[in-house]
């Protein structure tokens, strides 16, 4: 389990792009989106795995938490008072952190570009300035992703392709754009603009996705111009996300604007807006909600063109628990991310790709972040011409590099169902085009290459089998403990998580692993029995579900073999009994003098401790009735009584009255007292130890030749005699 922490997050998460003069210039830094001084800051509570909703609610109520959002993994809201340090030390809480600001970032303005050199770089490309004139720019041939060659290979595979969704978590996306409107993900379960949550997913009219910044379905904000055109509302700027969407999916051969890399109908983009306002600010809490939405609605790839130097354990948990491949911009700060990590690109997770960027000559710009161990590859990303709200424009930076990788990932995912995200990542990283400028600057040492990835696509691991799991029940203290063994097979993608819900549920209730309570370390601790449904999913999203009837321990303990003994002076009684419980185990054993019921033991009784053989005993100085009660860990109780008394023996009879033995022989004399319920004890004595020896239990051993007697005497003084003759040597 990661260490718990409470942070006041001051870093901002910024988009990683450079914009042209056609967009409003954006400064490189913005104020943090913190609440006004009079308001309590928004906080994110990350729950440890396996914490039930009842416990979460109880813990938060204790600290006066005002909840805005809760999905079982994260609770987002504010506290009436400072929760430190009590909440931080709670075993149920993984982390508590102040909501981090997320804001888009731009460094400088660039002029227009009229061609998409990153698709096919011949050595020059045409560039247009704001006045509309154009001119040639010299570049280095073959600094591109070999898109034409890759598309050709894709066409030969397209017959078996299936639809893939890329979630763009950013500013909004212009879903009206001629080059994007046919490439938008559409929620088929929602009727547009009827003000009703038709599919009951908690989001009303979420046709193209959701605007988490404004908390509504308005994933793009427009200004309608007098000439009939429209552009981005400067009060809620959505050009950045629209630009990213165009790089990924702008449709080809429609005589409009540009061609995206994943230009075929098999790829769609989901609009998940977390940045808004004139400064395009956002928050980690909204990013977490957006990730859950994308996971719930089946996205395969998630594009992250923003980053922060402030680590968020909540954001890391949300990504690690997802089955999507996250393509993240490495940053525009010119730093070595091995030394100064940028998140989420620097999260060391198998489903995260970190992307730097190069210019048209294959050089790493001074402002591109890099990292031999932490940045996976680079992609072309200067003078990138793509869609903006109502038009097209140009941006540069790692914000534009990430969607190029997202597009290639989407193409690979679309080839065959069941592609393993970590394997797609490996194919992309292992099939880059080497560049000398990237040697030692990233893991692959090269730039993205669609052609090479397509050549290696048949090596992508596939997993279409759901994981299996088994379980065992045990009782530990006052808890019922279920232990699971989950397996995804030899060639599977690996089990991601197990979750559970109370009652009988279906797989759809778990919403692709975004609902239900996580089972920590494959161990589920319950406080009562009943039906529980468990959902196991692997890293490709395959899932299995099983409703488990958890049978509680309803049987009381057993109190058996009750007996007592009396000493020779008849003034001390020892009561003994065997206590046992085969399920939840013994919690306590008590006794009381007299005849009692269970209720009498609630506030009284003397505790007894069983020995290794589960025998309990106690002493009394007078005869009478005694009650023993045993309780197991599930609260079941058993009560038994015993009466102690003194009854003298009237006679004693031995099992043998005359025996003949050989030296070395042994036998046991059994003494029977009359009356049967006599409390007398019996002792044995040999008339000659040289002939026979005898123990107090009546075991006789022949030692030497001769004759003698063995006398049994009760504590009341009655006797019986057995004559013993040892006549030979055995």
- Give the pLDDT means over successive 10-residue stretches in the chain (730 positions): 32 50 24 40 85 86 85 85 73 84 37 62 76 78 93 76 93 94 95 93 96 95 92 92 95 75 88 91 93 97 94 95 97 95 96 97 95 97 90 90 97 93 98 97 97 95 95 93 95 95 96 94 93 96 96 95 91 96 94 96 95 96 96 95 94 95 95 92 94 95 95 93 92
List active site positions: 170, 240, 399
Domain boundary among 482, 515, 550: 550
Residues 201 and 120 in one domain: yes
Residues 187 and 282 in one domain: yes
Whether residue 67 is contained in a domain is answered as: no
Crossing angle for the helix pair 398-415 and 421-430, nearest 10 degrees? 120
Domain boundary among 432, 459, 486: 459
Per residue, the 3-state secondary structure of 509-552, as one string, reads: HHHHHCCCEECHHHEEEECCCEEEEEEEEECCCCEEEEEEEECC
Residues 589 and 659 in one domain: no
CATH number at residue 717: 2.60.40.1080
Distance, CA of 538 to CA of 466 (rounded, Å)? 7
- CB of 25 closer than 8 Å to CB of 290: no
Whether residue 47 is contained in a domain is answered as: no
Whether residue 318 is contained in a domain is answered as: no
- Tallying the residues shown for the chain, one arrives at 730
Q: Provide the residue range defining the domain that includes 709.
A: 651-729
Whether residue 68 is contained in a domain is answered as: no
pLDDT at 111: 28
**Domain count along the chain:** 4
| Of 121, 332, 296, 294, the residue nearest 200 (C-alpha) | 296
Residues 413 and 516 in one domain: no
Whether residue 510 is contained in a domain is answered as: yes
Residues 407 and 435 in one domain: yes
Peptide bond between residue 706 and the one before it cis (omega within 30 degrees of 0): no
pLDDT at 132: 64
Residues 655 and 541 in one domain: no
Residues 495 and 346 in one domain: no
CB neighbourhood size of 458 (10 A): 10
Residues 529 and 570 in one domain: no
DSSP E strands, 71-113: 74-79, 93-98, 101-103, 106-110
Domain boundary among 598, 614, 644: 644
Residues 259 and 370 in one domain: yes
Residues 367 and 455 in one domain: yes
Distance, CA of 118 to CA of 145 (rounded, Å)? 6
CATH number at residue 586: 2.60.40.10
pLDDT at 131: 60
CATH number at residue 335: 3.40.50.200
| Of 369, 405, 447, the residue nearest 140 (C-alpha) | 447
Whether residue 314 is contained in a domain is answered as: no
Residues 517 and 617 in one domain: no
Q: Is 510 left (phi over 0), alpha (psi -120 to 50) or beta?
A: alpha
Whether residue 85 is contained in a domain is answered as: no
Whether residue 41 is contained in a domain is answered as: no
Residues 659 and 608 in one domain: no
The residues with which 616 forms a beta bridge, in sequence order, are 577
pLDDT at 399: 94
């Amino acid at each position: 389990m990661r260490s718990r922490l409470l942070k006041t997050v001051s870093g901002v998460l910024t988009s990683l792009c450079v914009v042209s003069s056609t967009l409003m210039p954006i400064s490189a830094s913005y104020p943090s989106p913190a609440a006004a001084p009079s308001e309590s800051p928004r906080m994110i509570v990350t729950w440890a795995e396996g914490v039930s909703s009842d416990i979460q609610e109880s813990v938060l109520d204790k600290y006066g938490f005002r909840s805005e959002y809760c999905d079982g993994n994260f609770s987002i809201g504010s506290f009436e008072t400072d929760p430190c340090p009590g909440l931080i030390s709670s075993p149920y809480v993984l982390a508590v952190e102040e909501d981090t600001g997320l804001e888009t970032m731009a460094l400088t303005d660039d002029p227009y570009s009229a061609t998409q050199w990153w698709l096919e770089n011949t050595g020059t490309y045409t560039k247009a300035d704001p006045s509309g004139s154009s001119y040639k720019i010299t570049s280095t041939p073959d600094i591109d992703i070999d898109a034409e060659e890759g598309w050709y290979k894709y066409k030969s595979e397209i017959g078996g392709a299936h639809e893939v969704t890329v979630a763009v978590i950013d500013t909004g996306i212009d879903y009206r754009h001629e080059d994007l409107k046919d490439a938008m993900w559409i929620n088929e379960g929602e009727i547009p603009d009827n003000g009703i949550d038709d599919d009951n997913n908690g989001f009303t009219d979420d046709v193209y996705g959701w605007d988490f910044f404004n908390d509504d379905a308005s994933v793009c904000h427009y200004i309608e111009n007098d000439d009939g055109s429209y552009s981005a509302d400067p009060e809620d700027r959505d050009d950045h996300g629209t630009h990213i969407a165009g790089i990924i999916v702008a449709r080809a051969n429609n005589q409009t604007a540009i061609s995206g890399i994943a230009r075929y109908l098999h790829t769609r983009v989901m609009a998940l807006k977390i940045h808004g306002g004139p400064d395009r600010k956002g928050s980690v809490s909204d990013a977490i909600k957006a990730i859950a939405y994308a996971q719930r609605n089946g996205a395969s790839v998630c594009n992250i063109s923003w980053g922060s130097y402030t680590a968020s354990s909540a954001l890391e948990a949300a990504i690690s628990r997802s089955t999507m491949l996250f393509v993240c911009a490495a940053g525009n700060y010119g730093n070595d991310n091995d030394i100064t990590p940028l998140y989420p690109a620097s999260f060391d997770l198998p489903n995260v790709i970190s992307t730097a960027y190069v210019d048209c000559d294959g050089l790493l710009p001074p402002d591109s972040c890099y990292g031999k161990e932490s940045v996976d590859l680079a992609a072309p990303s200067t003078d990138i011409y793509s869609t903006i709200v109502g038009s097209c424009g140009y941006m540069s930076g790692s914000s534009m590099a990430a969607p190029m990788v997202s597009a290639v990932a989407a193409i690979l995912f679309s080839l065959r169902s069941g592609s393993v995200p970590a394997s797609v990542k490996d194919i992309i990283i292992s099939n880059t085009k080497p560049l000398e400028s990237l040697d030692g600057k990233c893991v692959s040492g090269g730039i993205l290459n669609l052609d090479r990835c397509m050549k290696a696509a048949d090596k992508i691991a596939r997993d279409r089998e759901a994981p299996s799991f088994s379980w065992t029940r045990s009782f530990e203290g006052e808890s019922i403990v279920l232990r699971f063994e989950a397996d995804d097979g030899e060639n599977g993608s690996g089990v991601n998580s197990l979750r559970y819900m109370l009652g009988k549920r279906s797989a759809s209730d778990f919403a692709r692993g975004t609902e239900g309570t996580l089972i920590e370390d494959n161990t589920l601790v319950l406080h009562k029995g009943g039906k529980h449904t468990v959902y196991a999913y692997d890293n490709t999203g395959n899932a299995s579900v099983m409703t488990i009837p958890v049978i509680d321990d309803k049987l009381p303990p057993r109190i058996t073999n009750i007996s007592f003994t009396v000493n020779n002076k008849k003034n001390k009684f020892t009561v003994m009994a065997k206590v046992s419980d085969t399920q939840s185990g013994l919690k306590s054993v008590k006794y009381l003098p007299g005849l009692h019921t269970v209720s009498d033991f609630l506030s009284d009784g003397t505790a007894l401790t069983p020995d290794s053989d589960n025998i309990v005993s106690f002493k009394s100085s007078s005869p009478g009735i005694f009650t023993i009660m045993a309780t197991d860990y599930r609260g079941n109780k058993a009560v038994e009584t015993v009466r102690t008394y003194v009854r003298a023996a009237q006679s004693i009879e031995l099992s043998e009255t005359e025996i003949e033995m050989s030296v070395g022989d042994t036998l046991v004399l059994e003494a029977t007292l009359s009356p049967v319920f006599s409390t007398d004890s019996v002792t044995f004595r040999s008339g000659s130890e040289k002939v026979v020896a005898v123990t107090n239990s009546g075991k006789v051993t022949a030692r030497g030749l001769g004759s003698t007697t063995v006398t049994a005497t009760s504590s009341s003084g009655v006797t019986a005699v057995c004559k013993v003759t040892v006549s030979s040597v055995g």
